[in-house]
Copies of this chain bind each other. A is one copy, B any other.
């Protein structure tokens, strides 16, 4: 597996590790997404994670691994085990590993009291346990939850203990951890990250097209990140002279834009549905969908964006031919003659959707997501897309090589939205 087209910066020599704790993670009941998030965020400020670990809710196992990490690493971020129940053992385990006791921490108590007062909740006795931190540790305030975090040195390593609740962890990582790490890194370096989102090429084809970015500037690393079905090009810049760094980032960005052209749909990491949403809002245009093979996925994506009701009017998920005819006005004879997966049907669906909702644009999909239903002429992975604009109707027929139903639905939806994006931008 490749993380990108260039390996991590060689000038970094701090050893950084991530530890997640909790029986739900250890037993596989819950997938650990925190560790990946932390790794990404620390990579953005120029650090490279060496190892992730996960242990369950056991004071002995947690303190043991803290000692191991304390011998190896300079910085570690630990998540979980800061709650009020008897299963929450991180403070006790850290104290044991640091060979100190836990003690009442006034700042932690303030953090807890502020939380409960602001919400007019009474504070229960079990919450007071959360104000007990290892002696000599520094309290890390939690502005959005009850569990204060803490910073403690064990061995040669600074351990940042954060809650396991993702939105609390994310906020504290940003406000409490990153500034302290940047200070420890002891330099006035600027870190810049740029995400360029693309659709339409494979990961390796994308990498080949921009291979030269590897050697452009030593302070900028270029990596690829596959987020099916999109491929993100990530620029990680780190340097002492902010102005120069910004200029050099702009040079690479310009180069990548030239090489990848209209395959690029976003320069700030936004998903396709948000990009299309902005464009529709700018034009004051409304969108109506007719989805067969995507089964509501495009509508579901568009409506993940709060405020999408400003431009998203309707989707007719017409799985049956009857619904295609009755709701969208597709012609029965065309259906009979060509079958449902055909550009002519896609065109009629798009026009029908446009009309029914009085929308500026009508967008349609009809295809075979699999695993069943494929034929020699129309194998699994075939999709016909229709786009009705105020002036014309565009159609296209595509074939994707994926075997799994969810992958096909996903790439069909992306392709349809990308056609609309290109039409809105006239590119």
Contacts of A59-91 to chain B: CB distance below 8 A: 61, 65, 80-81, 83, 85, 87-88
- Is B51 a contact partner of A27 (Cβ separation < 8 A)? no
Report yes or no: B317 in contact with A315, Cβ–Cβ below 8 A: yes
Pick the contact of A306 from B61, B306, B327, B371 — CB < 8 Å? Answer: B371
Q: How far is the CB of A175 from chain B (nearest CB, A)?
A: 19
State whether the Cβ of A250 lies closer than 8 Å to any Cβ in chain B.
Answer: no
Of the candidates B52, B56, B61, B296, the one whose C-beta lies within 8 Å of that of A296 is: B296
- State whether B24 touches A32 (Cβ < 8 A): no
Contact (Cβ within 8 A) B28 A36: yes
**Interface presence of A276 (CB below 8 A):** no
Known: A1-B24, A358-B322. A61 touches B55 (CB 8 A): no
Contacts of A306 on B, CB cut-off 8 Å?
Answer: 370-372, 405
CB of A51 within 8 A of CB of B55, answer yes
Min CB distance A111 to B, Å, is: 20
The answer to whether the Cβ of A302 comes within 8 Å of any Cβ in the partner chain is yes
Contact partner, A27, options B40, B295, B357, Cβ 8 Å: B40
In the complex, the count of this chain's copies comes to 2
Stretch at the interface among A42-50, A277-285, A392-400: A42-50
Known: A54-B52, A314-B317. A32 touches B28 (CB 8 A): no
Q: What residues of B have a CB within 8 angstroms of the CB of A409 in the complex?
A: 300, 303-304
Query: Restricting to A352-373, which residues have a CB under 8 Å from any CB of B?
Result: 356-358, 369-372
**A223→B52 CA distance, assembly (Å):** 26
Tell me whether A52 and B53 are in contact (CB under 8 A). yes
| In the complex, chain B residues whose CB is within 8 Å of the CB of A23 | 1-4, 7
Of all chain B residues, the one with the shortest Cβ separation from A42 is: B28
* Interface SS of A by simple majority: mixed
- Residues of B near A4 (CB, < 8 A) are 23, 27, 29
> In the docked arrangement, what's the CA distance between A320 and B359, Å?
11
Interface residues of A in 310-347 (CB under 8 A from B): 312-320, 322-323, 326-327
Instruction: Give the residue of B43, B327, B405 whose beta carbon is less than 8 angstroms from that of A356.
Output: B327
CB neighbours (8 Å) of A40 from chain B are: 27-29
Which chain B positions have C-beta within 8 A of A406?
Answer: 304
> Could you tell me if A39 and B52 are in contact, using CB atoms closer than 8 angstroms?
no
Can you report 25 residue pairs joining A to B where beta carbons are below 8 Å apart?
A: A1-B30, A1-B164, A2-B23, A2-B24, A3-B22, A4-B27, A26-B49, A26-B52, A27-B43, A27-B48, A30-B36, A32-B32, A51-B55, A286-B320, A295-B303, A296-B296, A296-B298, A296-B299, A303-B319, A306-B405, A309-B319, A313-B320, A315-B317, A323-B356, A326-B358
Interface residues of A (CB under 8 A from B): 1-4, 7-8, 22-33, 35-41, 43, 48-57, 61, 65, 80-81, 83, 85, 87-88, 164, 223, 225-226, 286, 288-289, 291, 295-300, 302-304, 306-309, 312-320, 322-323, 326-327, 356-358, 369-372, 405-406, 409
